A = this chain, B = another copy of it.
Amino acid sequence: MTSSEASLLARLSLNQETIRQWSLPELADGCARAGLRGVGLWRAPVRAYGPRAAARLVRDAGLVVTSLCRGGFFTAEDPAERRAALADNRAAVEEAATLGTGTLVLVSGGLPPGSRDLPGARERVADALAELAPYAAERGVRLALEPLHPMYAADRCVVSTLAQALDLAERFPADQVGVVVDTYHLWWDDTIDAQLARAGGPAPTTGAEAVPGRIAAFQLADWITPLPEGVLLGRGQLGDGAVDLRRFRARVDAAGYRGPIEVEIFNPSLWSRDGAEVLTEVIARFTAHVA
């Protein structure tokens, strides 16, 4: 292994949905045994286990929590639904802080039932960020807005490109609102190189304070076809699909991002296998196709 491969492997983090058959203790143990340093967690299993207990479990295994998935779903027009969403996101911020991660992933939400007003829904996302960002910042948590593939624009996420996510994030200080870069959602975009460079922020000039970039998280999955019904659970293992993962990673590097690289694959074919075997495969694929 070259030293640059080794330094990339040190950044590899497993998003727990990739091996959702593992309980949290199995996840912490399995990742530690495999030599990983980080895990990305989801709210439902963390809440079921207890955030404090989960934080201790992961810490005791020598791991850090690289992100918490996920808050968001900010697009409701109904005031009561909207208040409930904001309250739930404040709880998510608390959970992230308890877990010791500075990154809360946000999926914006789709169109409200019957609505066709994409610009209006997108503006409500900005309104919610304005309410939550200072609250999160006080707790050491940065909001990480994730653009999802345009095929989710109606029912899941009205923020569909990195450019759009950056347009929203840039209304706020960079240390309060960043973006999630996920190869599965963004690989097709012919403007992605320019947008990644934009996300990286200006190069720090001598004597000036470093300006943080906007990339709060970097996630990997490959794009495979045919897509399954509902298009949620068809992500590909690294190297199985159409994404030039190494080239993409190099562009994220060039943008100045040096944080964790999470593998997040939703695919029942991985969930039906032995977790340790899947993780071994993830690491091998990461080495072959990303590092």
Contact residues of A with B, CB < 8 Å?
Answer: 111, 115-119, 122, 149-151, 153-155, 160-161, 163-164, 187-191, 223-231, 241-244, 247
Task: Report if A151-B231 is in contact (Cβ < 8 Å); known contacts: A116-B244, A117-B244.
Answer: yes
Closest 9 interchain pairs by CB? A153-B188, A154-B242, A116-B244, A151-B151, A150-B188, A229-B229, A226-B230, A155-B225, A227-B231
Can you identify 15 A-B contacts, CB atoms within 8 angstroms? Answer: A115-B242, A116-B242, A116-B244, A118-B188, A118-B190, A149-B151, A151-B227, A154-B223, A154-B241, A155-B225, A155-B226, A160-B188, A160-B189, A161-B190, A227-B229
Q: CB-CB < 8 A to A149: which residues of B? A: 150-151
User: Residues of B contacting A223 with CB < 8 Å?
Assistant: 153-154
Prevailing SS type, chain A contact patch: loop
Copies of the polypeptide in the assembly: 2
Task: Give the residue name and chain of the B residue nearest to A245 (CB).
Answer: B116
Q: Which residues of B contact A229 (CB under 8 A)?
A: 226-229
Closest-by-CB residue of B relative to A191 is B163
| Chain B hits for A154, CB < 8 A | 188, 223-225, 241-242
Q: In the assembly, what is the distance between CA of A187 and CA of B118, in Å?
A: 9
Of the listed residues A115, A117, A164, A231, the one surrounded by the most CB atoms of chain B closer than 10 A to its CB is A231
Task: Provide the residues of chain B in CB contact with A225, threshold 8 Å.
Answer: 154-155
What's the minimum C-beta distance from A157 to chain B, rounded to whole angstroms? 10
4 additional A-B residue pairs with CB within 8 Å, beyond A118-B190, A163-B191, A226-B230:
A118-B187, A154-B188, A160-B189, A228-B229
What residues of chain B lie closer than 8 Å to A115, measured between beta carbons? 242
Query: Distance in Å from the Cβ of A54 to the closest Cβ of chain B?
Result: 32
Residues on B with C-beta less than 8 A from A189 are: 150, 160
Q: Within 8 Å CB of A191, what residues of B?
A: 163
| Cα of A231 to Cα of B228 in the assembled complex, Å | 8
How far in angstroms is the closest Cβ of chain B from A288? 13
Residues of B within 8 A of A151 (CB): 149-151, 227, 231
How far is it, in angstroms, between the C-alpha of A149 and the C-alpha of B163 when the chains are bound?
Answer: 17
Closest B residue to A150 using CB positions: B188
